[in-house]
A and B are shown apart, each in its own frame.
Chain A
Amino acid sequence: MEKSIETIWKEGFLESEALVAPKINDLYNQKSKQLIAKMKRMFKVNITAIVILSIIFPILHYFLDATWQGVAASVMLLTLAWYSKRQMKGIKTLNQGVNSYEYLKTFDQWLKNALSRNEKIIRFSYPLSLLIAMSTLWSAWNSQEELTAKIAQKFPGLIFIGNVPLALLVVAGIVTLLMFYFSGNIYRWDIRLVYGRVFDKLEETIAEMEKLRRE
C-alpha cells in the first residue's frame, strides 16, 4: 500500500464532489411506503389466519359431534375473510401520485372508514360466534344424559328444556345480549391488541409530518 489510510481519507475528501449533500425534498417517502406495506402484510396475515380457521373449525366440530355448528362457523369466517379482502381492494384505489403526507392522510382515512364498517359487521358476528360456541356445548351436553340425570336429582326444582336447564339458557341469552351490546368495544380492544403499535406509528408519523410542515 503506497498511501496511508489517513492520506487517502484527506485527499479523497479534498475533492468537492465527494461531499455533495443529497436533496431532502421527500423526507418521509420511504418511511410511508414501509409503514403502509407493513400494514398490508398484517392485514393479509389476518385474512389468511381467518381462512385457515374456517377450514379447521368444521373438522374440529365434526369430532365434537357438532358438524353443523362447525359449518356455520366456517361460513361466518369465510364471509368475514371475503369482506376483509374486499375492503383491502380499496387500498389500491388510493392515489399514490400525491406526496407522502397526503397519501398517509388518505390511507388513515381509508383505515378509519374500514374499521368503522367492520365494527358494524362485528356487532353481529361476535354474538353469532358466541351462539355457535354455546350451541356446540349444548350438543355436547345433550349426549351426556347421565350428567343431566345427576343434575336433576341434585336440583329437583330446575326446569329443563330438552336436556338443558332453563337457567342456563337464560344465562346464555343474557351473555349473548351483552356480547351484542359490547361487541364494538371488544372489537376495538381486539384491534388495538393486534394492530395497536402500527396504528400508533401511523398517527405519530402523520403528527410529525404536520409539525414538519408547520415549522
Chain B
Amino acid sequence: MSSDFYQFSILPFAAIIIKICRAYTNSQEDFEDYYQEVCLQIWRSKDNFKGQCEWSTWVYRISLNVCLTLLKKKKNGQQHFTSDRLPDDVTTDNKAFENESLNQLYKAIKYLSEVDRAVILLYLDEKPYSEIANILGTNPNNIGVRVKRIKERLKKILDGKIN
C-alpha cells in the first residue's frame, strides 16, 4: 500500500474507522488489528470503487463489513450478547478514550447486537437514514424506528451508570 494511498484515501477518514473498530473490540490489541484489517481491505477493494457513492460511505461500509466478519470469526460459535447481562470482556477496555462519558457510551453500545451497533454508530455520526439504510442494505423506513428503539435502550443502560 503506497503511503500516498494511506495519506490521502484512508487517513482523512480514519475517524470513521476508529469509531467503528472501537465499537466492535474490547482491547487495544484487537482494536489495532481490526483497524489494520480495515485499512487493508479498503486498499484491496479500491479498484471496486466506481464512484457509486461517497468515498466516506464506502469506508463506512467496508469498516462495518470487516468488523462484523472478524467478530464472527472470533466468536466462532459463542453466543451473541443481546441480553442486558454485561459480557465479561466488555469491561476489559473501558479506558479507550480520555473522555469518561464517551467510554461509558461505548460500553453501553457494546451491549447492543452487532447490527444495532452499526445503526447507532452511523446515526451518531449524523448519517441520514437513507444513507444508513444504503450502507446496511435495508429499508430507510425501518431505520427510524430502530434508531428510536436503540436510543431508548442505550438511555436505560446509561441511566444506571452516568448521572
A interface residues with partner B (beta carbon < 8 Å): 1-3, 5-6, 8-9, 11-13, 15, 17-22, 24, 26-27, 30-31, 208, 212, 215
Contact = CB atoms under 8 A, between A and B. Distances in A.
Contacts, number: 76
A59 B159 CA distance: 67
B37 to A, nearest CB: 8
B85 to A, nearest CB: 21
B162 interface: yes
Contact of A5 (B2, B32, B154): B154
25 contacts: A1-B158, A2-B163, A3-B162, A5-B158, A6-B124, A8-B101, A8-B102, A11-B99, A11-B101, A12-B97, A12-B101, A12-B102, A12-B105, A13-B19, A15-B97, A18-B98, A21-B11, A21-B17, A21-B35, A22-B31, A22-B35, A24-B35, A26-B36, A212-B43, A215-B2
Interface in B25-53: 31-33, 35-37, 39-40, 43-44
B99 A5 contact: no
Contacts of B11: 21
Given A5-B105, A13-B102, A18-B18, 15 more contacts: A2-B162, A2-B163, A5-B155, A8-B101, A15-B97, A19-B14, A19-B18, A22-B36, A24-B6, A24-B39, A27-B36, A27-B39, A27-B40, A30-B33, A215-B1
A86 to B, nearest CB: 32
